[in-house]
């Protein structure tokens, strides 16, 4: 036999041309199933616990009681709003890693209003003022990198990232100015006696308002991106700036306008964090959601409705992870390992949605992913 004779490659990979919706979801759900099996094996091997009871406790952690359900809804709403805020930026291929800073700007503005004006003016104008300043602060914080990008083509990734640190430092400065009690180095609950500037409970539920706002914002953003002229313009700019110029779209203007939209929603999120949920200001109040939101948005392909699902997955897992570490007395890292494995499989499933893997034919038709 010819020594040059080689075997047909074992695996080759081709790009899929089209894939049906149902198949796409089958791949996604399949990947989660496989991830759960892998996690189960690792759980059994390393902790000798029954994986089913571990999963049951994860479920408990998110949906176990009404209180836990509300906590989950609140967490999901806030994360969803940040993701929805980032969607237009990323759809325009503007790598906005500054969600963190843009939310903090809103947080700072709201806190400033509540601390300096609390008790001096009525609650309604105070809330309105907090809201407006928070919106402006978020918009300004997002506008600055957009302006530099539009005028001098600076790198937005670095710029927005750096703006986070600037925001964190400004917040740190004001925390020292406003610290209460003196010398504690933190602000504590703002207006804890008067509750001035706090958003009212709707139907007796603290977080219902936040959930409602998140739903409205998500739907509005879906409509904005899908059906509005501005939404169309920003996707053209994202796909090709040359094409945008060719049809007379002012690229710089669209970049600045889109980032203002992002900033407004981020500012609104910051407002809700202070006025509705946490009632305090810390440098970490945004809690990494500016980055987590990027992942939520990507996983949903920038479709705000899809972000509800991807956001839910992430919030569910992070709450479940903390639940199992307390329930079984495990190190917090164990929960993170489980989360990491599931995310790995979910993100990995995108590969199998876009590509098809063929195995060497051995009589049978090649297996599919």
In the complex, which residues of this chain contact another protein (CB under 8 A)?
A: 2, 4-9, 12, 14, 16-18, 227-230, 232-233, 235-236, 239-240, 242-243, 245-248, 250
Residue 264 has, within 13 A of its CA and on its CB side, a CA count of 10
Smallest gap, in angstroms, from Cβ of residue 247 to another protein? 5
Nearer CB in complex with another protein: 48/229: 229
Q: In degrees to the nearest 10, what's the CA dihedral of 252, 257, 261, 262?
A: 10
Nearer CB in complex with another protein: 122/239: 239
Smallest gap, in angstroms, from Cβ of residue 262 to another protein? 18
Backbone angles phi, psi at 118, to 5 degrees: -55, 130
Smallest gap, in angstroms, from Cβ of residue 220 to another protein? 12
- As beta bridge partners, residue 121 has 118
Residues 6+ away with beta carbon under 8 Å from 176: 185
Nearer CB in complex with another protein: 45/367: 367
Nearer CB in complex with another protein: 18/66: 18
Q: What angle do CA 89, 93, 94 make, to 5 degrees?
A: 55
Nearer CB in complex with another protein: 172/216: 216
- As beta bridge partners, residue 13 has 357
Smallest gap, in angstroms, from Cβ of residue 248 to another protein? 3
Smallest gap, in angstroms, from Cβ of residue 234 to another protein? 12
Residues 6+ away with beta carbon under 8 Å from 88: 221, 224, 225, 231, 234, 258, 261, 262
Nearer CB in complex with another protein: 174/224: 224
Smallest gap, in angstroms, from Cβ of residue 154 to another protein? 16
Q: What gap in Å lies between CA 167 and CA 146, rounded to an integer?
A: 16
């Amino acid at each position: 036999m010819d020594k040059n004779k080689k075997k047909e490659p074992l695996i080759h990979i081709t790009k899929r041309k089209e894939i049906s919706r149902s198949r796409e979801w089958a791949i996604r759900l399949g990947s989660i199933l496989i991830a759960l099996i892998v996690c189960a094996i690792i759980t059994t091997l390393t902790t000798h616990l029954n994986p089913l009871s571990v999963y049951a406790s994860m479920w408990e952690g998110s949906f176990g009681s009404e209180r836990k359900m509300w906590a989950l809804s609140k967490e999901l709403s806030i994360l969803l709003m940040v993701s929805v805020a980032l969607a237009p930026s990323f759809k325009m291929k503007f790598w906005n890693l500054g969600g963190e800073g843009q939310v903090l700007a809103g947080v700072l503005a709201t806190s400033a209003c509540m601390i300096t004006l609390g008790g001096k003016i009525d609650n309604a104008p105070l809330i309105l003022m907090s809201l407006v300043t928070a919106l402006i602060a978020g918009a300004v914080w997002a506008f600055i990198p957009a302006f530099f990008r539009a005028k001098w083509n600076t790198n937005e990734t670095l710029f927005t990232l750096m703006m986070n640190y600037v925001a964190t430092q400004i917040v740190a400065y004001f925390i020292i100015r406003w610290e209460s009690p003196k010398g504690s180095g933190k602000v504590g609950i703002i207006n804890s006696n008067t509750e001035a500037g706090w958003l009212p409970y709707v139907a007796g539920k603290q977080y219902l308002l936040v959930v409602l706002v998140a739903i409205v914002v998500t739907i509005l953003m879906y409509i904005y991106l899908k059906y509005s002229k501005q939404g169309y313009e920003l996707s053209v700019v994202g796909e090709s700036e040359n094409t945008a110029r060719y049809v007379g779209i002012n690229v710089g203007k669209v970049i600045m306008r889109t980032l203002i939209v992002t900033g407004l929603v981020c500012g609104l999120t910051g407002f809700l964090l202070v006025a509705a949920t946490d009632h305090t200001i810390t440098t970490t109040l945004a809690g990494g959601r500016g980055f987590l939101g990027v992942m939520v948005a990507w996983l949903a392909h920038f479709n705000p409705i899809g972000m509800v699902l991807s956001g839910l997955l992430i919030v569910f897992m992070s709450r479940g992870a903390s639940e199992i570490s307390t329930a079984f007395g495990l190190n917090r890292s164990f929960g993170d390992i489980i989360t990491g494995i599931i995310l790995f499989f979910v993100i990995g499933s995108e590969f199998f949605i876009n590509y098809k893997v063929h195995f060497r034919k051995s009589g049978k038709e090649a297996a599919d992913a």
